[in-house]
Amino acid sequence: MRQLFTRAKSLSLAATVLILTASGSGASAQQQNEPTLQTVPVPAAASSAFGTANAVATQPSLDLDPAPAVTAATLTQLVARQPQAEEVSSEINCLAGAVYFEARNETLDGQLAVARVVVARSRSGRFPDSYCGVVYQPSQFSFIHGGAMPVINHASAGWHRALAIAEIAHDGSWQSPVEGAMFFHSARISPRWHRQRVARIDNHVFYR
């Protein structure tokens, strides 16, 4: 009986799922899938144009200092109103790095969608439980080379936007149309996944 249990447990952990992600440079990634867990119901996909800020019900699970509450009528305004911190935690840096390399040339909705996937993964129990763990998980994001990110121009407007989006995604202060999605791939490919498609935003297609 113990041998059968051990074998069953090993088989349940052996399943793998392919995930492809892409930025303007054609970045790709793979991920290992843990046993399927039941997910909390999330709002259905909606338009990317929100009239007012719509907070996500979940609270940040990482041990980061909460940012001051910021409200805005549009995502563009919310990004512009994000305070620039003198010091940024390593976790927010990792989350912003994923946004920067995966979607910095996309709309703010597209950048937020990518960030919310990283957040969702970190809280799912199926992936590492930190943003850095998700981003640096082997074979996940192809912009990671040798366990490190490429050099970032920290003085660029693109990086400052990525930081603002990372804070918004972490705080859950703006609802993305892809809430609950944990997978995405480039719109240029068709991997024929047997997953629930949530939405396409800019150059990515998102799935639960």
How far apart (Å, rounded) are the C-alpha atoms in residues 206 and 188? 13
pLDDT score for 194: 87
What CATH number is given to the structural domain containing 139?
1.10.10.2520
- For 123, the domain range is 68-182
Residue 129 is assigned to a structural domain of this protein? yes
In a domain, 111, yes or no: yes
Residue 20 and residue 28 in contact, taking contact as beta carbons nearer than 8 Å: yes
| Tally of residues, the chain | 208
Query: How much is the pLDDT for 203?
Result: 92
* Strands of 204-207's sheet in order across: 183-186, 204-207, 197-201
Give pLDDT, residue 62: 57
pTM score of the predicted model: 0.68
Q: What is the CA radius of gyration of the chain?
A: 17
Question: 54 in a domain, yes or no?
Answer: no
Residue 23 inside a domain? The answer is no
Domain total in the chain: 1
179 close to 187: Cβ distance less than 8 angstroms = no
**Count of alpha carbons within 13 angstroms of residue 31, beta-carbon side:** 22
Mean pLDDT by 10 residues, the chain (208 residues): 43 38 37 34 30 36 58 94 90 97 96 98 96 94 90 95 97 95 90 91 94
